[in-house]
Amino acid sequence: MSSSQPVWDFWVRFGHWLIALGVIFQQISGNELELIDAHATVGILLSGWVIFRLVWGFIGPKYARFSSFPLTSPKQVMHSLQRVFTKQTEQTPGHTAVGGLAVYLMLILIGLTALSGMASSDDILFTGPLEPFLSSALVDLANQAHPILSKLVLIIVIAHVSAVFWHQFVMKEPLIQGMFHGLKPGFGQSIGQPNPFSKLLLLRGFILFSLCIGGAYGILGIYLGW
Ligand code: HEM
Ligand code: HEM
């Protein structure tokens, strides 16, 4: 295994563990009536993270950018999956083709689940912040879609965690440590500019993260006041 280098910046790691906790909380709180306010608040914050991650995919460091894990053809995804099953490490410090596809699916599904939650209403106990702007047909659709989308989130997360465990314990790749300290095997490839551990990037991420999380909570949570 080649020497380690900085790959995941602070905001990718911090965001990852926050959303992992958030998504677990959402799965538990979604069926608890007394937790529904907390459920809506955490869901709104998760939508802020989705916006952050989408923008970070363009202005973050090299391996956080979508250009470093582009959507590839089904053939390449199958090839990448085959390498996983045959325990051949892909020589990339960032996301592999199949890992990158899972990241896109998680982003889309978490985003759509949060959006459908915000558009939901049962006309009695709960009215989502987007409900007043939507036709009743769209609100009905959101009501029906939310439990389905939240189950799809659960399925992709289970697949993601299983894949991470496979890489970690069967293929002996240090992925989990990487999501804590940010270092991963470099396979001789450059870390790119800006350096994922630079102060400039830390500040850029802080501004964007605060704007996205604060903005989502401010606009959807407080201004539209559900
Ligand atoms: C609800 C739970 C979880 C969600 C929604 C989730 C989501 C994600 C997402 C979106 C990424 C891409 C990070 C990025 O590029 O910004 C990622 C990467 C990663 N996740 Fe998770 N995750 C969850 C749980 C976990 C758990 C429990 C572990 C470890 C035990 C884990 C380990 C990792 C690792 C190691 C990576 C980086 C993979 C690589 O190096 O290519 N995740 N996860
Ligand atoms: C990624 C974010 C979210 C996840 C993973 C999630 C997950 C869930 C789950 C698992 C349930 C139980 C579904 C069932 O009955 O089987 C649920 C229900 C619910 N969620 Fe969410 N949720 C999210 C965001 C939101 C948001 C942002 C809101 C509102 C602002 C919201 C409002 C509700 C409501 C009102 C229910 C109860 C009615 C129903 O089953 O649709 N959720 N959610």
Q: What is the mean pLDDT of the chain?
A: 95
Closest CA to ligand 1's atom 23: 20
Q: Percentages helix, strand, coil for the chain, rounded to the nearest 5?
A: 70, 5, 25
What is the full DSSP assignment across 183-195? Answer: EEE-TT----SS-
Name the CATH superfamily, with its identifier, for domain 4-223. Answer: Transmembrane di-heme cytochromes, Chain C (1.20.950.20)
Ligand 2 residue neighbourhood (C-beta within 6 Å)? 23, 26-27, 30-31, 36, 39-40, 43-44, 46, 110, 113-114, 117-118, 120, 126, 128, 143, 146-147, 150, 153
Query: How many angstroms is it from 147 CA to the middle of ligand 2?
Result: 7
Q: Is 7 helix (H, G, I), strand (E, B) or coil?
A: coil
**pLDDT interval class at 220 (50, 70, 90):** confident
Q: Across residues 89-102, what is the average pLDDT?
A: 96
pLDDT at 1 exceeding the cut of 60: no
Model-level pTM greater than 0.85?
Answer: yes
Query: How many angstroms is it from 63 CA to the middle of ligand 2?
Result: 31
Backbone φ, ψ for residue 100 (5° rounding): -65, -40
